[in-house]
Amino acid sequence: MADHSPVDNHQHQLTDHRETYEGFVKGAIVLTLVSFLILVALVSFRFGETLNVFIGFAGLIIGFIAVAIDTRTNSRWFLSIGVLVVFGLITAINVS
């Protein structure tokens, strides 16, 4: 039989909608961070002066690990953004 209690059903639906929304936002943030990591790595691969391939792949691997840690721990993305900024600065120094 179907449960027709409006209070429980509405509360359950609201919880489901909230979880779906939070998952969508988390996925969008992960996709954005990974896209920026790949963009910086491509710049490192193409325009780097020395050790361009090593710096590019090291930055990608460390960046992906940082994004995975932030995703699993439900943190405020400080680790991932910090790694992205440091990777960008290292690439900028290597390019100039």
- Give, as one character, the DSSP assignment of residue 12: H
Cα distance from N-terminal residue to C-terminal residue, the chain? 70
- Spatial CA neighbour of 63 closest among 44, 45, 85: 85
pTM above the 0.85 mark? no
For residues 68-93, give the mean pLDDT: 95
**Res 29 pLDDT > 80:** yes
Checking if the pLDDT of 6 tops 70, the result is no
pLDDT of residue 5: 59
Name 62's Cβ contacts closer than 8 Å, sequence gap at least 6.
83, 87
